[in-house]
Each structure stands twice: as C-alpha cells, then as structure tokens.
C-alpha cells in the first residue's frame, strides 16, 4: 500500500512540480503552514493506494489507459490539469466529457460507455452524484480501478463503488501519486 496525498490546489506552480499555496500539498509531502516560507512535514494519515493499482501505474503498458471522467479543455480546471499532467508523464489518457469533442488534442468521449476497448483506471473528477451514475454502468470487465479525486466522492459513493469493483482509491491525488513512482 502507498500513502498518497490529497491534490494540491491548482496553480501555475503545479505544472512546475510543486504547489506553494497555503493549504496545498506539495508533491514532496510538505504542507505550507503560513505560506511558502514556513513549511511542515505532513504527519496526518494519507489515503492509501493498493499495490495492484501502483503496479498498473508503474507499468505504463499500452493497454493500461486512464479515462478521466470530467476532463475539460479549460486549463484552470482539475479535469484539464490532470489530463495534461498524466500525458506529460507518459500515460495513455482518454478524456470523457459529454460536451467537448477534443481535450488537449485527444478525442474526447461523451460517456465511458462510448470509449472503445477497456480502460485500466477510471479517474473521477466529477461531483459524487455524477460519479454514481457513471458507476452504475460499469462492470469488473470494463474497468479494473476507479479512482476518486479529492472532492469527487462521499462515503456512500465509495461504499457503492466497492460493491461494483475490486479496486477503489478515494482521496489520493493521481497527480501526486504518479509523481512519486
């Protein structure tokens, strides 16, 4: 198991590999206490990521695609930041958004059902009510892992996801976890 960290608040510094905003979490595991000059180590328990999921992320195999549900062409939204971050790290990303045909030069799909072929990880960047509707259409044959970004889940949704899939990650930020592999 890997102790991931919650996503930092987005800022231009995120693209450079760290976030120095108060309340954000640095990829190096430091949380600013009073701005960037006074930092402290993170000591609170962080969400865990199962070793089987980490193996998928380490492997970066051609068939191990990551679908980002809630992907966006707006560069200030997490749905776009996550897509760009994963692409930059060499992952195969499939954007899912019902209103945008292309995101970061990639064909976007209106629903997860419209994505051709299997995906290894479904990364949720949508509110819990939308996430539940997506989960209702998933099966273990379609997806191996559902990953809920911070703010995209509640306890009921995580419990429901665990009845549907073998691997559920809730609360760890995929950008932070992949930067630590």
pLDDT given at position 34: 34
* Whether pLDDT at 18 is above 90: no
pLDDT of the residue at 6: 52
- Mean pLDDT, the chain, as a whole number? 80
Q: Where are the domains of the chain?
A: 48-174
What is the reported pLDDT for 138?
83
Give the model's pLDDT for residue 47: 77
Q: What is the 3-state secondary structure (H, E, C) of the chain?
A: CEECCCCCCCCHHHHCCCCCCCCCCCCCCEEECCCCCCEEECCCCCCEECHHHHHHHHHCCCCCCEEEECCCCCCCCHHHHHHHHHHHCCCCEEEECCCCCEECCEECECCHHHCCCCEEEEEECCCHHHHHHHHHCCCCCCEEEEEECCCCCCHHHHHHHHHHCCEEEECCCHHHHHHCC
Each residue of 169-178: pLDDT tens digit? 999 999 999 9
Would the pTM count as exceeding 0.85?
no
- The yes-or-no verdict on residue 24 having pLDDT over 80 is no
Tell me what pLDDT residue 26 has.
32
| Per-residue pLDDT at 139 | 74
Decide if 168 contacts 53 (C-beta within 8 A).
no
pLDDT tens-digit map of 112-165? 999 998 999 999 999 999 999 999 988 778 799 999 999 999 999 999 999 999
Candidates 3.40.1790.10, 3.20.20.150, 2.40.50.140, 3.40.50.720; correct CATH number of 48-174?
A: 3.40.50.720
The pLDDT-based confidence of 7 (bands split at 50, 70, 90) is: low
Tokens matching residue 107: 């064909």
User: What does the pLDDT read at residue 137?
Assistant: 86
pLDDT top residue among 7 and 103? 103
8-12, 13-17, 117-121, 164-168: the lowest-pLDDT one = 13-17
The pLDDT of residue 91 is: 97
> How confident is the model over 40-54, as pLDDT tens digits?
344 444 578 999 999
Query: What is the structure's pLDDT at 79?
Result: 96
């Amino acid at each position: 198991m890997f102790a991931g960290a919650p996503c930092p608040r987005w800022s231009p510094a995120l693209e450079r590999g760290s976030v120095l905003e108060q309340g954000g979490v640095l990829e190096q595991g430091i949380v600013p206490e009073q701005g960037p000059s006074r930092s402290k180590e993170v000591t609170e328990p962080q969400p865990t990521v199962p070793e089987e999921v980490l193996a998928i992320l380490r492997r970066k195999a051609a068939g191990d695609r990551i679908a980002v549900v809630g992907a966006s062409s707006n560069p200030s939204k997490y749905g776009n930041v996550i897509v760009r971050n994963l692409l930059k790290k060499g992952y195969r990303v499939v954007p899912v958004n019902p209103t945008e045909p292309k995101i970061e030069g990639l064909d976007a799909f209106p629903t997860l059902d419209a994505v051709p072929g299997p995906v290894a990880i479904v990364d949720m960047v949508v509110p819990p009510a939308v996430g539940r509707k997506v989960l209702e259409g998933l099966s273990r044959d379609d997806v191996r892992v559902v990953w809920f970004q911070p703010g995209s889940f509640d306890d009921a949704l995580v419990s429901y996801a665990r009845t549907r899939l073998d691997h559920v990650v809730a609360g760890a930020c995929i950008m932070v976890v992949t930067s630590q592999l």
